[in-house]
Amino acid sequence: MNILKKAGALALVGAMTLSSFPIAAVEAKEDSEVSNTAGYSTDVIYQIVTDRFLDGDSSNNPSGSIFDKYDMKKYHGGDWAGITQKINDGYFTNMGVTALWISSPVENLMIMDPSNNCASYHGYWGKDFFRANSAFGTMDDFQTMLDTAHAHGLKIVIDFAPNHTSTAEYKGYTFPEDGALYRDGEFVGSFTNDTQGIFNHEQWTDFSSLENSTYHSMYGLADLNQMNSTVDGYLKDAIDQWLDMGVDGIRVDAVKHMPQGWQTNWVSDIYEEHNVFIFGEWYNGGTGNDPEMTNFANNSGMSLLDFRYANAVRNAIGEETATMDDLYNVMVATENDFKEVNDQVTFIDNHDMSRFMTLSKSNQNNVNQAYVMLLTSRGVPTIYYGSEQYLTGGADPENRGDMTSFNTNTTAYQVISKLAPLRKTNAALSYGTSVEKWVNDDVLIYERQFGNDVVLTAVNRNDNVSYDITGLYTDLPAGSYNDELDGILNGETIRVNANGAVSNFTLNGGECAVWTYTTNDQDTNIGNVDPGIGVSGNTIAISGRGFGASQGTVKFGKTEATVVDWSDSLIEVQIPAVAGGEYTITVNSANGGSDTFDGFKVLTGSQVATRFYVNNAETEYGQSVFIVGNIEELGNWNPDKAVGTFFNSTGSIATYPTWFFDVSVPAGTRIEYKYIKKDAAGNVVWESGANHVYTTVTDGTGIVVDNFNK
């Protein structure tokens, strides 16, 4: 990260006026276009395990023991040429898909891992993050795929795994590559002889705590030390290279296993140059609120894969171990827990869990029903490759089978193709609230509304029992409504009277239906603001409806922002020169409409990751240590927003009564702060004496060591 370059850019922005960016100079973008790379609420993502999708160029297939199409642990030949082929033949666009999430494109370990007899077909054993995985193609092949996708209205999301390289520690095994990391062919370091501190060297995580999961290795994979300045710069430069090629989004692997402070510093660096959508993987096996996961989703600067929603659908429709009412309760709970629930990425299966078809004991009806739920619920829906073809498969690697068909006539493909495009045209699906209208153990009828757009969805998971639907009320205007699925899941026309009452009807066994109302007559309503954090001078996207064709104004608090682009559904603005803090964004349309978005976080400045140590911080049972200070990143002296909980059980870093935590802070900035102790009830014990004072580093990563003032 070049701090001087970015500081100069900010100074230039500060000197510009509204007239510096004439709207007439460019064609205004809409929220639904491929050029809107910050917001994905109108999109449907299709996840591809690249090696298992389609072999479009057999000349790049690996040779030797790592390639065997009949061995699920080895390369099978899928590549970027195969994806390009299916883009060109319309397989994705005819399905209504508008974004492709592909395997990590970086060069991987290209020998068998002796500890598990597996090859790196999945892309998660990075070796050189600046070079392409030759099994998937060349950099030119990757660029061709990108350009072809954009020409067909498709965004490309890459998987990226900054947590680790390849396996380097497993009892009784010698690893020839030793987890080695390279930078465009130049050796950086390896695990065993790690003189530069490139890797963490704690034993395998037992997942017992967030601290253990963060600083210990996963299954012997060489765990990168992101708080090392060389690694920090490496990962920032590497992702910049791929984004500079035109990549539209990033799925970040294993975010639970890296310091949140480092990750916030990393994504903030990305947002200064690239206005893209970023979501991470924080694995959660249940449907309840995990406070650490929720904190990450709300404060890290990136969204998450919504495992809570996925597990709720799998429980209610896949295994039927929960009711449809239970499923709706999870939908309500997550809407309350996540600041921007419409930015969380929803799914029903993926490469780390059994396929939905297997979970539901090969009941295709359940798969169809689950897709109706997925595509009409809040969040950004993701289709796992092949599930539209009813592929089966249990645990990894069986859930990563080859595509056996590209049949566009399966019922699942047809369900997706009819519902996915609605997210572009009906804002209720992109941004709307969710309200249950009729529910029992088997049936859920729920409505989503945004402005005057309305979508009413009905799902009966029970293939053998019909239900008489009486007393149903809706916000659909009076009239008759045909099923958007055209009856392929037996849905019928409903009639709504002037009071919003729906005429009684029967929801037959297994029946699903979707009824919609869409209008261009919309008041000014903000749907999302993306990304959720930024520094002054960054461009952010405000999406919604009713902004009008003529430019209005946008304010952060009382400060007016520079408008870069304005359309009825998408406004791009530069964050004005304001102090770090949370701001209410107000959009005032030229037509007189107005709406606000609360809690947008402006960071104090370009970020660096810093490890804070505090010695001799002795606590009573139930107390933990936090840091609070005079900047937004440290809570602006508000103990309720103090940063922590600090850690004290990682032998190679610190143990009690020394505590540590990795924090994203503004670069080259004099900060003041104190350490505090808090218990579960929120009781606070402040450190005595004068404030600690520290001037943060201007680049790389920093270290601070303090003593607790009793």
Active site (catalytic) residues: 253, 281
Helix 291-299 crosses helix 260-273 at what angle (to 10 degrees)?
Answer: 20
Q: Which residues contact 650 (CB under 8 A, 6 or more apart)?
A: 202, 211, 212, 215, 216, 660
DSSP 504: P
List, in sequence order, every residue forming a beta bridge with 455; answer none if it has no partner. 448, 516
Torsion of CA 687, 691, 697, 700, to 10 degrees: 10
Take residue 679 and report the two structure tokens written for it. 């218990």
- Give the DSSP H/E element, type plus range, for residue 165: strand 164-167
- Per-residue CA distances from 565 to 27, 178, 542, 573 (Å): 8, 49, 10, 7
Q: Which residues contact 507 (CB under 8 A, 6 or more apart)?
A: 443, 445, 458, 460, 466, 467, 469, 513
List, in sequence order, every residue forming a beta bridge with 514; answer none if it has no partner. 457
DSSP codes of every residue in 648-675: EEETTTEEEEEEEEEEEEETT-EEEEEE
Distance in angstroms (rounded) separating the CA atoms of residues 574 and 562: 5
Pairing state of beta strands 479-481 and 380-384?
unpaired
Take residue 444 and report the two structure tokens written for it. 């859920």
DSSP 316: I
Dump strand ranges (E) for 193-335: 202-204, 216-217, 221-223, 249-252, 277-280, 303-304
Take residue 331 and report the two structure tokens written for it. 């939908």
Q: Are 627 and 661 in contact (CB under 8 A)?
A: yes
Nearest residue to 619 (alpha-carbon basis) of 549, 708, 532, 692: 708
Positive or negative CA dihedral for 22, 27, 29, 30?
positive
Residue appearing with tokens 């920032």: 236
Q: Which residues contact 472 (CB under 8 A, 6 or more apart)?
A: 437, 438, 445, 501, 502
